[in-house]
A and B are shown apart, each in its own frame.
Chain A
Amino acid sequence: MKKLFVIFLLAVVGYSLVNALMDVPFGENRIEPGTVSAFYLEKTPTQLSVANVITAIVVNYRGFDTLGEVSVLFLASLGLGSILYRKHKEGEEEVAILKPSSQLVQAGSKLIFPAILVLGAYVFIHGHLTPGGGFQGGAIIATGFLLMMMAYKDYKVSHNILMWVESLAGIAFAGIGIVGLVVSHSFLENFLAIGNLNDLFSGGIIPIIYVAVGFKVAAELTGVLDTLLNIKDKH
């Protein structure tokens, strides 16, 4: 009976969504001169010398959102820590991964892991030039750590280091913002030289912020994974 009701509800929701989307034709060019998108597309290469418009939006135009998002990540690892807090009890062992993985996986992971790290670093350092950026790069790095954690039963990442990296990166982000406030009367305003389009060092503070973000995200995601994988439980 409940299932019928739910299916009916889903039909209603689906229908209204389809209806709403009729008014939003696919592929139509909605970038008219008055909208924000036109402005971004126009100004980014000239005023900011950044090639990747999306990066410019995320880090500069809407940098405040990104600060909030970084805080959300921070909150998540914090929340995890507080929810799963447990006084250390006797006689408990890790339950998460019981069987060690095969020789192939172990050897392979050792090889791939540095490559993944480099790839991730590349992605977030070049965030303003190619698709990608801090979040994407940080996620890639965390995946590398995940691989190691799953291949090796006892692979541990020091929570201390993670915490330091995370806090420092967060402070860096906010700090740069405050410097912007002091120098140019606006939080997060760009205060470094602009450089040329497509150079590695173009875009003023944008690549710097993205690097900080990359570190932070990598640290946080890895921390979350580590917390979840190392839950001690009675058997």
Chain B
Amino acid sequence: MDIDYNQLMSIGVYGSAIGLILIGLYAVLIKKHLTKIVIGLSIIDAGIHLLFIAIGYIKDGTAPIFSPGGLKALENGQPMVDPVPQALVLTAIVIGFAVTAVALSLVIRLYRHHQTARIDQIKSLKW
């Protein structure tokens, strides 16, 4: 039943990645509280990162590290998982964090100014 297992995994992983993206998108578009919007943004990022790593997966693959354990796995004929997406995601996660940090600081500034953090009450500029 090996093939069914892979199918199940693919639905699970891809599904959750897409799910995260959609949930985050929903939060960004619908929610009125600024912090929730920022969290939504973060969730979208998480979803995309997950997706990125997921595509790097190779069936029965092992971690791309040439440690003694890894070398043994190679001898067993196991392929190594694609290292490139992981390296890229590392960078992307850090960048996402930085954006979130700046976003939160902006929220704090807005709160100080308007005494509220709801987007419908902070509308001095035309949307």
Contacts and interface: CB of A to CB of B under 8 A. Distances in A.
Direct contact, A vs B (beta carbon within 8 Å) = yes
Contact of B83 (A25, A53, A75, A227): A53
Contacts of A9: 25, 29
B84 A65 contact: no
Q: Which of A13, A37, A75, A133 has the most CB of B within 10 A?
A: A37
A14 interface: yes
B57 A27 contact: yes
A28 B99 CA distance: 33
B91 A83 contact: no
B125 interface: no
Contacts of B18: 14, 17-18, 21
A83 B105 contact: yes
A130 interface: yes
B87 A224 contact: no
For A54, A131, A133, A135, the residue with the greatest tally of chain B CB atoms inside 10 Å of its CB is A54
DSSP class of A's interface residues: helix, strand, loop or mixed? Answer: helix
B119 interface: no
A26 B21 contact: no
Interface residues of B, number: 49
Contacts of A10: 22, 25-26
Nearest to B29: A6
The contact size tier of chain A is 35 or more
Given A28-B59, A37-B82, A135-B90, A13 B22 contact: yes
B16 interface: no
Interface stretch (A39-47, A146-154, A170-178): A39-47
Interface string A132-154: 01010000000000000000000
A36 to B, nearest CB: 6
Given A6-B29, A84-B105, A84-B109, A40 B84 contact: yes
A201 to B, nearest CB: 16
A6 B63 CA distance: 40
**Most chain A beta carbons < 10 A, residue from B59, B84, B95:** B84
Contacts of B14: 18, 21, 26
A46 to B, nearest CB: 10
B60 to A, nearest CB: 8
27 contacts: A2-B30, A7-B26, A10-B22, A10-B25, A10-B26, A13-B25, A18-B18, A26-B7, A30-B82, A31-B79, A37-B82, A45-B66, A54-B83, A57-B84, A68-B91, A69-B91, A69-B94, A73-B94, A76-B99, A77-B101, A83-B102, A84-B105, A129-B65, A135-B90, A198-B66, A198-B67, A231-B108
Interface of B: 6-7, 9-10, 13-14, 18, 21-22, 25-26, 29-30, 54-55, 57-59, 63-68, 70, 79-80, 82-84, 86-88, 90-91, 93-95, 97-99, 101-102, 104-106, 108-109, 112
Given A26-B14, A135-B93, 12 more contacts: A6-B26, A6-B30, A13-B25, A28-B58, A31-B58, A41-B64, A57-B83, A58-B90, A69-B95, A75-B98, A129-B67, A224-B101
Interface of A: 2-3, 6-7, 9-10, 13-14, 17-18, 21, 24-31, 36-37, 40-41, 44-45, 51-54, 57-58, 62, 65-66, 68-69, 72-73, 75-77, 79-80, 83-84, 129-131, 133, 135, 197-198, 217, 224, 227-228, 231, 233
